[in-house]
Structure 1
């Protein structure tokens, strides 16, 4: 199996001087001497002309001779090669690819919309030119396939009511998911000589048909979590209040009055609205 071969061809400026000398000199001498044989040098000069090639920074030219791979020019400059070479231009610059939003199922089977942003460049010109049919289309197709696979490996989010306790989720584990995506895409594109510089999730959301239901579910989960914290804090405050009253002997409370006090404090501390005080001028039983 052939591999990329870097070559540095002849200096283009020197051959440009030879071309101009043959082309202009042969025409001039033919006119002065009226000898048509010098016109042959003009045809030689015209044969030299197709061999000039210019390579810009972060560019390359893949050279073929009647279907046989000769080598790749990666160093920028002005060169001259065999006029019969076929010169295929391949850019070595970094390219951005923003994939379309795909509808896929996450690990729990929930439909989500996801897209990725990929930064890539050609590393091996031989593989990019000859191991795949169209390396740019290959990048797009394989990136979409990698995103679909990644989305099916992780849940969108953690939900306690389903017993889901994943360390990595699509929504919260951005660095881990991006690293796994980059590795997956890099393995797929290595056959085309493509180097993955960066890959990350560009868009992530539930599919439209379940977006409203999932939003309500997330809100309910947040409310339950908040209530849990409120109740936990209220219990701690009630316990502290009873301990302080008992320690300082401000008032002696029997079990019935303690229960009433706990009930009132829990209502005040856990309620959504401000409590309205009620003055009791009698006893607890009247």
Structure 2
């Protein structure tokens, strides 16, 4: 069901008219209640006129309602949707219309910390902040029972589905991960939530991850694995650089003819240089004052 904007009448003129009619009804009733000097009985026509005007004034008063800024009023008549009023201020419509106020303001909520398994099967804790707004009042009222509860439940469901679709850490180049690609993850989450909430007349303005961590029972093990990966990556880079330096040293020695080394001495030199370049601590050199042979 799509929103159908309808007109509403200004409420101030109707309020003034209701006051005039109410005063006239009271005057007629009081006048009619007085005994007629000729007959000694109250004036029935005046009494009936006062009662009738009082009923009219009461019904007109029921038709008045207020609409705040960034708010809409969904009108229905005996279960049939009539339309939506977004004009601010005191308004008037058919007094038999039922009116439900819907806030159009931007709202947000933070999901609780959900415990889910990411793509690799490791348990993680994740939470998100969702910024949303009602854009179709009729759909929000008639398509779902409680649109606020619907937003909360569907957002958490989309967050669970998204978290299980990506790994926590990036294992390959170009792979999207929860921790390393926050922008892409937030965009995907926003699209998933918007798709689920589209039928409820809700627009998702922003969705972003507010908490992301491994579950407590594996947090220490995952930290050790991250540290091991970092050490391996650092060692790999150090070894690659050391091999390049050794190759350069041997090439320069051979090019300039500084010294001629046989294969055994070359191997010993390579071993010594790798120990010096790849060692964690500074090495203590031993100066050979005799022949190298």
Task: State TM-score, norm by structure 2.
Answer: 0.88
Structure 1 segments of 4+ aligned residues over 4 angstroms from their partners: 28-38
Deviation at 1:9, TM superposition (A): 0.9
2:205 aligned partner: 197
**2:50 is equivalent to residue 39 of structure 1:** yes
Aligned length: 280
2:282 aligned partner: 274
1:17 aligned partner: 16
Deviation at 1:133, TM superposition (A): 0.8
**2:137 is equivalent to residue 129 of structure 1:** no
1:6 aligned partner: 5
Contact 1:118–1:196 (Cα < 8 Å) also in 2: yes
Contact 1:58–1:93 (Cα < 8 Å) also in 2: yes
Contact 1:27–1:38 (Cα < 8 Å) also in 2: no
CA RMSD of aligned residues (A): 2.1
Contact 1:60–1:89 (Cα < 8 Å) also in 2: yes
Match of 1:69 among 78, 81, 105: 81
Contact 1:94–1:119 (Cα < 8 Å) also in 2: yes
Unaligned runs of 5+ in 2: 35-45
Contact 2:166–2:178 (Cα < 8 Å) also in 1: yes
2:194 aligned partner: 186
> Map of 1:75-154 to 2, 5 A cutoff?
75-154=87-166
- 1:60 alignment partner, SS class: strand
Contact 2:119–2:163 (Cα < 8 Å) also in 1: yes
Which has more radius of gyration? 2
- 2:7 alignment partner, SS class: coil
- 1:274 alignment partner, SS class: coil
**2:261 is equivalent to residue 253 of structure 1:** yes
Q: Deviations over 1:116-169 (max 9, x none)?
A: 11111111111110111111111111111111111121111234xxxx666211
Q: Measure the CA separation in 2 of the matches of 1:158 and 1:196.
A: 28
Contact 1:54–1:79 (Cα < 8 Å) also in 2: yes
> Map of 1:147-162 to 2, 5 A cutoff?
147-159=159-171
